[in-house]
Chain A
Amino acid sequence: MAEEKKLLTVSTSPHIRAGDSVQRIMYDVVLALLPAGVGAVYFFGLPALVLIFAAVASALATEYTLQRLMGETLSWLDGSALITGLLVAYNVPPGAPWWVPVLGSVFAIAIVKHAYGGLGYNAFNPAMAARVFLLVSWPKYMTTAWIFPANTVTSATPLGLVAKVAAGDAGAASFLSGVSTWDLFSGRIGGSLGETSALLLLIGAAYLFWRKVIDWRIPVSFIGSAMVIAAIFNTPYVLVHLLSGGLLLGAFFMATDMVTSPITPRGQIIFGVGCGLITMLIRLWGGYPEGVSFAILLMNAVTPLIDRYTRPRKFGSVSEGSK
């Protein structure tokens, strides 16, 4: 029997790979973000849906268009642009006009991501940078366009109220005392689209831990250090600091962005602590009621430096003082 000589694949070791892929990781994050999105529509109604759709569609469209124009291999469906779109939307108040997240997504994808080299090469978290871009460009829409779930009686978010209390506003304090812990936890409060429901964000985070997409180091050190500062310097409102504002969304979904955070274990702890401290610094003593976005961007900036100085101890290295 004449046999056709079969061609064998020849390459160097290893010859097997684990099943994970970038796409699977990205879509796991998308799945983890969905509960918060559903919550946003539940609490804020149709405007939320419009904003989410606008942000996601423009993120995908921007990446597709850019890659076609630049003649690059299309990767717009790998899930990363989808995540950026969702996160841009989640960082925008529900009362903002539809074009606000659109501009945010375009900025995030075109400038923050692709102008810096595309996936894997960007220095700053695209959605986080987009939020700050929107904040400084359209402060009115980003700081006052709140919609409140039924039965709430304030015109400011819990963190906004905390800032007012610090400024001596007694009315704010009484409003805050009317906000229950369950409201804070479930999301029946004011805030940006994706940040209000601690419950739904924690469900998403639990999924990411189970799927081993995120590691405990950054979220725990971020939240932990923020809570230490809050407990010492703003004790009555510790729960407000934890459950409202962008802390949970930031700690679990934005600071954990792999590309813009350190790769070393010790580096990740330093990164998380830095984020927590700067967040509280701005919240308590800075000019904005919320500091998560600035904190994360500042820590993104020093991530390469952190990596350089936190290399793990090499196996077989001679440590000082050992035999």
Chain B
Amino acid sequence: MLARKKTVGSVALKTFKRGGIHPPDSKHYSEKAAIETMVPGDRLVIPVQQHIGAPARAVVQKGDTVQRGQVIAESQGFVSVNIHSSVSGKVVKVASYPHPMGRPVMAVEIENDGQDSWAADLPKYPDYKNTDPQVLIEHIKNSGIVGLGGATFPTHVKLAPPPGSKAEYFILNGVECEPYLTADHRLMLERPADVIAGLEILMFISGAPRGVIGIENNKADAIAVLTKLCANRSDIEVVALQVLYPQGAEKQLIEAVTGREVVSGGLPITTGCIVNNVGTAVAVKEAVVDGRPLTQRVVTVTGAGIKTPRNLLVRVGVSCLELVERCGGVKDSMGKFVLGGPMMGFAQGDLALPVIKGTSGLLFLTDGQVPLYQELPCIRCARCVNVCPVGLLPSTLGEYASKHRMDDCEEYDALDCLECGSCQYVCPARRNLLQYIRYAKGTILARRRQAQVAAGGKK
């Protein structure tokens, strides 16, 4: 068992205070693989929903010619963003396609003409410091930028907090606490100047005087590179964090860096902090300075079930099958395909799915790594209680949820669960604790919605 470093020299590494687990970080599969650009194949499928919020509405139809960076679906409302074509070519079909989140979603299928020509006159603001931040926020929305850490929350919404709030810290999330994933690591290592440039833009827009880049201590090279670039400035600081899952969870990261706790149900801005993934920062830089809307992202293809793990720069809409081929194919022992990381990712039944904005990784686990366990009764060992970052009682919630006692689940704060999976990870009785809690959360929220409707839909 490796001893986890808690200090650098004699200074304790910052971390969130309660709970957390140490899954094997499994970064060795891909952390040394430099990012390779994938040339997209003949067909791309680009869904209109790749973000939290209202799906975009397709504005092209079969037969239309499109350029790279052209809007093919328009945002519908405030919490929504545009979708752009990732290649130049022709629209083959606008129809419903399988989607990584499980339900079919409207998507635009494009035949790639191989020219890779960008749309003309895409707006850009290289002199952004002399531009009204509101204009830049609108531009970020129009450029389709969403949180690339995986949550895909529209970035412009975070940059337009409620009136009266003040940003003190802009925190970049370079933690990448999920095992196996190394996309952010390689991005920080290979494009540190762009990461910092993106942070500067975000600090300007939000008015935050201080910038912090939080990085878990298992990425010493990235910490070193970014620290060197920030060495002679006092407005941006690189903070090395203890390797502890879920260090990269937004509220945990804020606590680690600033010591402040976001109130339950509240927004991070109430603590004076705004958090964005490092990949999002690079996308912001590309949109603002280079005039490039979001059409590609770094994806880690990894796991014991893939022949050659790699970090790939992939266009949105490319099929996972192409990535698998680029990585030598799957091994016969491959038994589970997860989009994202092993703690919070989504297992899929089919490889024929498009890479979307939130696809941080393709994880291939082997049959031996995913046995189907029988649940045993809870032995009240309290490991789950000890690891929960929120201070909940997962075993109690599991018992109540399995007996459909939703009032008790609500009283025991099921809705505060981060769904980080630490409880289910440690349970020796192999109880599916998180699944019970999710069931409770879903039921409680549905009950609340029904109650609102019944009460005449009041606010």
Contact = CB atoms under 8 A, between A and B. Distances in A.
Interface of A: 6, 8-18, 20-22, 24-25, 75, 118-121, 215, 258-261, 263-265, 307, 311-318
Cβ-closest 5 pairs across A and B:
A14-B421, A120-B377, A316-B264, A312-B391, A263-B382
Nearest to A11: B347
Interface in B260-297: 261-266
16 contacts: A8-B337, A9-B336, A12-B438, A13-B340, A13-B342, A16-B179, A17-B426, A18-B23, A18-B425, A20-B428, A120-B429, A261-B380, A263-B396, A264-B382, A312-B385, A312-B391
Interface in B407-459: 412-413, 416, 419, 421, 424-430, 434-435, 438
Contact of B372 (A9, A311, A318): A9
Contacts of B389: 315
A265 B345 CA distance: 31
Contacts of B255: 315
Contact of A316 (B263, B344, B350, B381): B263
B365 A15 contact: yes
Contact of B385 (A12, A15, A264, A318): A264
A312 B369 CA distance: 33
Nearest to A12: B435
Contact of B342 (A15, A21, A24, A312): A15
Contacts of B430: 17, 21
A22 B395 contact: no
Contacts of A14: 342-344, 421, 424-425, 434
B199 interface: no
A261 B379 CA distance: 10
B378 interface: yes
A317 B372 CA distance: 37
Nearest to B420: A14
Interface in B128-147: none
Contact of B369 (A16, A261, A265): A16
B390 interface: yes
B376 interface: yes
Contacts of B425: 14, 16-18
Contacts of B395: 263
A20 B391 contact: no
A261 B380 CA distance: 8
Given A8-B337, A9-B336, A315-B416, A25 B347 contact: no
A307 B399 CA distance: 14
A119 B375 CA distance: 13
B421 A258 contact: no
Nearest to B23: A16
Contacts of A260: 380
A19 B152 CA distance: 32
B188 interface: no
Contacts of A22: 376, 379, 428-429
B145 to A, nearest CB: 26
B222 interface: no
Contact of A120 (B261, B342, B378, B413): B378
Given A120-B380, A313-B391, A21 B343 contact: no
A13 B421 contact: yes
B393 A314 contact: no
B22 to A, nearest CB: 9
Interface in B361-397: 363, 365, 369-370, 372-373, 376-383, 385-386, 389-393, 395-396
B304 to A, nearest CB: 12
B357 interface: no
A14 B424 CA distance: 7
A314 B416 contact: yes
B285 to A, nearest CB: 31
A180 to B, nearest CB: 39
Given A17-B425, A17-B427, A316-B265, 19 more contacts: A8-B335, A9-B347, A9-B372, A12-B435, A13-B346, A14-B424, A15-B345, A17-B373, A20-B426, A21-B430, A25-B379, A25-B381, A258-B381, A258-B382, A263-B382, A264-B385, A312-B385, A312-B392, A315-B389
Contacts of B265: 316
B416 A259 contact: no
A259 B261 contact: no
A216 B407 CA distance: 34
Nearest to A26: B379
Contacts of A13: 338, 340, 342-347, 419, 421, 434
Contact of B335 (A9, A263, A317): A9
Contact of B393 (A15, A17, A20, A264): A264
